[in-house]
Structure 1
Amino acid sequence: MTRDRRSANPTRARRWLRTMRARDPREAHRAATPLELLFDLCFVVAVAQAAAQLHHHVTEAHLGVGLLGYAMVFFTIWWAWMNFTWFASAYDTDDVAYRLLTLLQMAGALVLAAGVPAAATSYDLTVITIGYVVMRVALVAQWLRVARQDATGRPAGIRYAVGIMVVQAGWLVRLALPHPWDYTGLAVLVIAELLVPMWAEFRGTATSWHPGHISERYGLFTIIVLGEVIFASLTSIQSALSEHGVSGQMLLIAAGGLILVFTMWWIYFMGPDAALSTPRIALLWGYAHYLLFAAVAALGAGLQVAVDVAVHRAHVAATTATFAVAVPLAGFLLVMCWLRRLTHTGLAHPSLMVTGAVIVLVLALATPVLGVGGVILSIGIAAAATLTAALVATHRDGVPHPPPEAR
């Protein structure tokens, strides 16, 4: 009886479980889906947790512990997000099975976020590993669907499924390793994670990700992380104002922070979309965003440290607070310079970004003279001046365009 109903209405069955087929990489008007945006929101919770822990450690003068924990935690967040994003760009069937497996990955992301404080403070990766494995098992199920249903993508699907499962087994084994072998295991597993896409994509037919869709997804996640910076900074400023009232230093930090967020947004979206013309360029471009996303979130933590120093509730020197803003900004500018050169888009004189990075680092040294607020505002003005110079130079010399085959 049930079999007869399904055969009588095949279109209804297809809505519940569609055949996993690669989407056309030349598909017009390809945009991020509401499900992808909801997925991003789960990850920004984890990003916020990582930035909060970095803020706490820097404020308490535990810089080494904080940076190592932040880099370690942020990798797991970024890598899980990146793997889903590229898979969805190639194989978004949007059927019930796809949505439920995505929901499972979102649940894993929230478990991962819950484990961030323990990982960032004591390097206890137990909860993070559980959340991470949940996410990766769901992705393995997606790749196995590809291997079964898409003849063209079968080789890559099998390689991805096998590679991910082997590495995830390694993450579970790492939990049992004694110290310091657990650190060695972590380094080995990070390298192994990065190698899986290289092995899967370059040993046969590459997956048919959509260049425009990938560029949009990364841009949207950049905006979300910038939004987290605004929210974290606003929360910190509100807390300081409720305890100490309005001060000149606080106003300068708020103004400088706003200029920084707006300038970073403009620099990222200046010029045409990235020309991801080859799998090699796309892989390098995608990997480099780990540094870019981490720098943006770390700048938010730095602004919070600056607020704490301004109201005398931090245990670090004022210069440390300004460097906590200047270093992430300099890193952002340098990564953006490299990304634009890699994809040949949107920047006439990359040296301007390098010069801007040097200037903001030098300005941090002026903290004893200008104070924390004065330096933060000066760094914001320097970043805006860097953007202005880049816009003028690009307009004067013409924006470099990608080759025809890349568009």
Structure 2
Amino acid sequence: MDEPHRRASELELLFDLTFVVAVAILTAQLAHGIAENHAAESILPFLQVFFSIWWAWMNFTWFASAFDNDDAFYRLLTMLQMGGVLLLGAGVPAAFNDGDYLAVTLGFVVMRVGLIAHWIRAAFDDAASRRTALRYAVGFAVLQLGWLLRLVLQQAGILPEQMQVVAFVMLAALELTVPWWAERTGHSSWHPHHIAERYGLFAIILLGESVLAASNGLAAALRSGGVSASLVAVSAASLALLFSFWWLYFLHPAGEELAANRDKSYLWGYSHFALFAALAAVGAGLEVAITVAPTEGHLQEQAFIAGYCVAISTAVFMGLLWAIHAPLTSRPVIRPSVIWSAVVTVLALPAGIGAIGVVGVVAGIAIVCALVVVVTVLQPGQRQEVS
């Protein structure tokens, strides 16, 4: 845990690329749901599939922080997990649109085989962490049987749709308890600065997906109506908004905070689920906003929904960004008065969409976020470098 200059490995960066595919497919599905006026119906499948993606990524990330020996067997097991991610990603449309989790669950099984093998190997190689590693292996193996049982009952038509959601929530909650149960035997030696870097890299992946989503929306708008002032304005505002998100996220010295508060790592790590989901949802909202901006008069409902999708997701991101870091420091980087004033303002902007349009909403949200950056960076004692 005290290894100096611990950085993400080249293998971890390659591993992350497989999640780029899965997140891109999911973001596109949510954007399609918003464009078809099915935003409310799309929220639940979006959150379920995103949990599968995020949890699979997080399991490997924390293991690798403690037990990455980078030998040939380790690399092969990681490659196996990458194959599982690609299978999971291929199943996203079916899970999202039809509630069919066959490919997603099978992809998760492949990933779990590799991860459980990692933990078993760690148990044999590291006597000090043996009980912890075996608990991880057993916990994940038992719960994987639960996911398979849910899949079998679903495919057989025995499990009603409402009970499928209940089963998902129960299994997901149990998944979250496995690290807590396993670590009761003694904390594994994860590296706080490495974990902070890995989370930052996943945030960049999600911001990159938002850039891709915005680019897709721009391409669709150009195909339908060509260049217009509203298209240029909403595209520029989208870029400014994403840049502000990046700036705000990396203002926080997360590695230092985790090093000083290892006992609060669960709160910090788990809370990122909603924060990351909000970043992904922003991308979907921006894609639709850019698409409808040039012809907003004919697509008022889509513009309204897209505006609220961007606003709510932005508010969740900013509020959680403050709340996640507040318990780790006596002096939060972003002042509460600043962040909560921004949240209220952002949530209020879509109410005026009839007057300012979706372009005004997105531009207003971008301006608010940019002001939060400026006020925070210029406050006395604030470090000027990104950490």
TM-score class, shorter: over 0.9
Q: Name the SS of the counterpart of 1:153 in structure 2.
A: helix
User: What amino acid is aligned across from residue 353 of structure 1 in structure 2?
Assistant: I
- Residues in 1 aligned to 2:353 and 2:163: alpha-carbon distance in whole angstroms: 41
Deviation digits for residues 4-39 of structure 1 (CA, Å, limit 9, x no counterpart): xxxxxxxxxxxxxxxxxxxxx111111101100011
Structure-1 residue corresponding to 2:177? 195
Structure-1 residue corresponding to 2:303? 318
TM-score, scaled to structure 1 = 0.88
Q: 1:136 aligns with which of 109, 112, 122?
A: 112
- Residues in 1 aligned to 2:319 and 2:72: alpha-carbon distance in whole angstroms: 42
Note closer, same or farther for the CA distance 1:369–1:314 as it changes in structure 2 (3 Å cut).
Answer: closer
Structure-2 residue corresponding to 1:336? 321
Deviation digits for residues 186-211 of structure 1 (CA, Å, limit 9, x no counterpart): 1110011001001001x211110000
Q: Residues 341-360 of structure 1 correspond to what in structure 2 (within 5 A)?
A: 341-344=326-329, 347-360=333-346
The Cα of 1:315 is off from its aligned counterpart by: 7.9
When Rg is computed on C-alpha atoms for both structures, the one with the higher figure is: 1
Structure-2 residue corresponding to 1:161? 137
Q: Name the SS of the counterpart of 2:301 in structure 1.
A: coil
Q: 1:367 aligns with which of 350, 353, 359?
A: 353
- Residues in 2 aligned to 1:371 and 1:181: alpha-carbon distance in whole angstroms: 40
The Cα of 1:398 is off from its aligned counterpart by: 5.1
Q: 1:391 aligns with which of 371, 377, 385?
A: 377
Structure-2 residue corresponding to 1:376? 362
- Residues in 2 aligned to 1:327 and 1:348: alpha-carbon distance in whole angstroms: 19
Structure-1 residue corresponding to 2:3? 27
- Residues in 1 aligned to 2:352 and 2:301: alpha-carbon distance in whole angstroms: 16
The Cα of 1:321 is off from its aligned counterpart by: 1.6
With 383-392 and 342-351 compared, the bigger mean Cα shift is at 342-351
Q: Is the 8 A contact 2:139 2:178 kept in 1?
A: yes
Q: Is the 8 A contact 1:298 1:328 kept in 2?
A: yes
Structure-1 residue corresponding to 2:291? 308
Q: Is the 8 A contact 2:220 2:291 kept in 1?
A: no
With 230-239 and 253-262 compared, the bigger mean Cα shift is at 230-239
The Cα of 1:317 is off from its aligned counterpart by: 4.0
Unaligned residue ranges in structure 1 (runs of 5+): 1-24, 400-407
Larger relative helix fraction: 2
Aligned residues: 372
- Residues in 2 aligned to 1:346 and 1:101: alpha-carbon distance in whole angstroms: 40
CA RMSD, Structure 1 to Structure 2 (Å):
1.5
With 75-84 and 239-248 compared, the bigger mean Cα shift is at 239-248
- Residues in 1 aligned to 2:27 and 2:65: alpha-carbon distance in whole angstroms: 28
Q: Residues 6-405 of structure 1 correspond to what in structure 2 (within 5 A)?
A: 25-177=1-153, 178-179=159-160, 180-201=162-183, 203-274=184-255, 275-276=257-258, 277-312=260-295, 316-344=301-329, 347-393=333-379, 396=380
Q: Name the SS of the counterpart of 2:246 in structure 1.
A: helix
Deviation digits for residues 35-79 of structure 1 (CA, Å, limit 9, x no counterpart): 000111101211111111111111111122210010000000000
User: What amino acid is aligned across from residue 196 of structure 2 in structure 1?
Assistant: S
Deviation digits for residues 327-384 of structure 1 (CA, Å, limit 9, x no counterpart): 1111100011112202216515123111111111111111110111122111111110
